[in-house]
Structure 1
Amino acid sequence: MTETGDWTTVGEQVRQARLGAGLSQAELGAQLGLDRTMIAKIESGVRRVDALELIRLAAALDVPIDHLLEPRPTVISRRSELLAENDTDVARRSQRLEIALASWLRDVRQLLDAGALTLVNPVRYDGNLASEDDARAAARWLRSIHGVGTEPIATLMDFCERSGQYVLVSDVPGEGASMVDGDVAVSVVSIEGDPGRRRATAAHELGHLVLGDEYSRDLAVHLSRSGRESLINAFAAELLLPVAAFGDVSRSTASRDEMIRLTAHYRTSWSLALRQAEQAGWLDASSTRWSRATPTRAEIMDAVGWAPQPDLDAIRVPPGYSHAVMEAWRRDFITDARAVELLHGQISLGDLPARDETDLAP
């Protein structure tokens, strides 16, 4: 790197990563054995950084080295403003999500470039999007093209991948973030929160892809940012639990037990199920009392016969992506350690089979 712009990029990436880690310039300098003024010069792009210092910076900031060398994709910058020294913990959590998102994008691109992963083109909805009803129609359309109908989505990870969005479930703080970089769409969902909330977050980020936003299409430009988010939320709710799933049950026959059954089988949060029940005409003033009582885990498990219902419940990667990692490993495109790293906790080194040395011979 010899161009001034390159060092400016490194400096800004160091600054953003440092703020995301909640460190002052002095605290980062202390970890590296550098004076605060040296950190300030690195962040301003004045001081160059050698390879060893890059490694130490990346380790101290808990980010991949590539993250310090490449500019943030524009779409990530548009999701939130750049951090300032006095930003809140919420902003720092958002920054950690964006760092994980950029790293995840590089993982997906590595497998695409190696020819191990076949790109799934992102699905886009071309219909009208002026109201929440339109957003719900888009969700029903997406369910239809994937042949799901009104049934529960078995695994949202696979559903998103088939829609062209590669999802990583990670232990970073926050909720979720997504981006489209050229022809690649990725999202990160935090493991924090209950399973229903994680599924809602994944469906929400898929909505950003399928419906677009103010940066990729004129999504309800007459609405405010919060108004556009309401459209995305309506899409996510209908995607996870279609109103049609409530059938012909009227308000007079709706019960809390039936609501719990739907919540359990569709694996949604109780609040999302209640919103959809209102759309279906299930809830009125007489049902308010029982609807506010959130079901216990025992009630949810009893509703599904105590059968495990895993989805987005651990650090996970999409199934097609997982196969691509193993294909790249078998073809000796990546090392054992990199395969484990790319699978984000799915396996350990001991889980990999022994390599067939005859396959690697020239």
Structure 2
Amino acid sequence: MASETSWQEIGARLGEARRAANLTQGEVAARVGLERTAMSKIETGARKIGALELTRLADVLGMPVDHFLVAPPPVLSNRQPLLEEDESVATKSAFTVQACLGAWLRDVRQLLEIGVLTQEPLWSYPHEVADFNSYRLAAQWVRHRMNVPTEPLGSMVEVCAAAGQWPLVTDIPGDGASLIDGDVAASVISLHGDPGRRRATAAHELGHMVMGDAYSNDLGVHASIEERERAIEVFAAELLLPVSVFSVAWSSTGGSRDQLIRLAARYRVSWSLALGQAEQAGVIDSAGRGALMANKPTKAEFMQALGWTPEPDLSSVRVAPKYADAVISAFRVGVISRARAAEMMHGQIRLEDLPLEGEANT
């Protein structure tokens, strides 16, 4: 299961997960049929554990077994709610997201190792980064690489995959998280929230990857985490709805709320993001933004602006089509089971949607 030297690391991870779950050693031990002293020794690495014991512990702590066996790569971004009830809730949320992100990374790597999935080179902004405007220029750089300088972007899972980052839309607390592990980048995006928020989260996590090392030193060593996150938000907003769009779409008469609704709907962004970009473009001022923010469009207004046929994005679509094709290919050649294929699709399709094992190659 693990080498002799790794028991201390496994025990430490078990202890962290136990504290995140707000459980005592005695409570965990009782649930898996151990003495409290045995649990104490496990957490310090003084006592080895078998596969069955570890499986039971993982189940009690609500974590996959791999979370304790494999050292997780460092998480680049983890956007959690600003307000938590207490520290244990925040810690538990962070553990849940980290475990989900690590499991997702292992799914991607499995397909890469099988040879049914190809990893695209990670896009990394090649120019000097000095201020917030540099993040806006970086978003424009991404759009030009995709040959869509001002047009609405399609599904964000495909945008991220094209740039080398594998996104998963799933049920996690907070908004999203991402990491870079060597030549592979992955992100998880919460199913919760409206579609505009999910698209903004996907763009945000892509921004962390694209900015790469620049993110750690672009705004100066004294920049706070909040300032750096705001810089990534500038990237995300510009990627989804470029400021230059307003000079073309806005009427000479100063525009209107209806025009803003059409832009927000067409580019599939939240009302607040559309207003922020409109102010950045200079077509509204801060007072006008405040007034419009207080007069949010209804769902009917957005749907009417789209001709009543909104495109599905980040709700019915959970994984990138390229990844989904790779899962089916692995299943058809018999490398993964039917149950594993359904699991790796993360809700994109159900087990009953797949052919039976013996029918996969017919």
**What TM-score results when the alignment is normalised by the length of structure 2?**
0.90
Which whole-Å CA distance do the structure 2 matches of 1:99 and 1:3 have between them?
A: 22
Partner of 1:220: 219
Paired position in structure 2 for 1:266: 267
Q: Secondary structure at the match of 1:243?
A: coil
Q: Deviations over 1:257-311 (max 9, x none)?
A: 1111111111111111111011111212356423432222111111111113211
Look up the SS of the partner of 2:348 in the other structure.
coil
**8 Å contact from structure 2 (residues 42, 48) kept in 1:** yes
User: Contact 2:77–2:208 at 8 Å: present in 1 too?
Assistant: no
Corresponding residue of 1:147: 147
Shift of 1:213: 4.3
Q: Which amino acid in the other structure matches residue 332 of structure 1?
A: G
Query: 2:82 — aligned with what?
Result: none
Q: Which residue of 1 aligns with 2:30?
A: 30
Could you report, residue by residue, the CA deviation over 1:151-197 in whole angstroms, capped at 9, with x for unpaired residues? 11110000000000000111111111100001000011111211111
Question: Which residue is 1:91 aligned to?
Answer: 91
Q: Secondary structure at the match of 2:75?
A: helix
SS at match of 1:305: coil
Report which stretch shifted further, 105-114 or 123-132: 123-132
Q: Evaluate the alpha carbon distance shift between residue 337 and residue 355 of structure 1 in structure 2; reply closer, same or farther with a 3 A threshold.
A: closer
Alpha carbons 2:169, 2:189 under 8 Å: kept: yes
Moved more, 303-312 or 22-31: 22-31
Amino acid at match of 2:104: W
Q: Kindly, what percent of the aligned residue pairs are identical? A: 47
Paired residue type of 2:261 = I
Distance 1:46 1:77 in 2: 32
Counterpart residue number, 1:320? 322
Q: Distance in 1 between matches of 2:220 and 2:167?
A: 27
C-alpha displacement of 1:357: 6.4
Q: After TM superposition, give the deviation of residue 355 of structure 1 in Å.
A: 4.3
The letter of the residue matching 1:334 is I
Q: Which residue type is aligned with residue 136 of structure 1?
A: R
Q: What is the aligned partner in structure 2 of residue 83 from structure 1?
A: none
Distance 1:189 1:251 in 2: 39
Secondary structure at the aligned position of 2:244 is classed as helix
Matches within 5 A, 1:1-362: 1=1, 3-73=3-73, 75-76=74-75, 87-213=87-213, 218-222=217-221, 223-248=223-248, 249=250, 252-284=253-285, 285-286=287-288, 288-314=290-316, 316-355=318-357
Mapped contact 2:76–2:179 kept (Cα < 8 A): no
Separation (CA, whole Å) in 1 of partners of 2:265 and 2:140: 20
**Which stretch shifts more, 152-161 or 41-50?**
41-50
| Structure 2 CA distance for aligned equivalents of residues 177 and 104 of structure 1 | 11
1:251 and 1:283 mapped to 2: Cα distance?
13
Does the CA-based 8 Å contact 1:111-1:325 persist in structure 2? yes
SS in 2 for 1:186: strand
8 Å contact from structure 1 (residues 251, 281) kept in 2: no
| Cα distance, 1:41–1:137 mapped onto 2, change above 3 Å | same
Q: What TM-score comes out, normalization by structure 1 length?
A: 0.90
Any conservation in 1 of the 2:22–2:88 contact (CA below 8 Å)? Answer: no
Equivalent-residue separation in structure 1 for 2:32 and 2:331 (angstroms):
35
My pick for the range that moved more, 350-359 or 132-141, is 350-359
- Distance in 2 separating the partners of 1:11 and 1:79: 24
Contact residue 244 and residue 281 of structure 2 kept, 8 A: yes
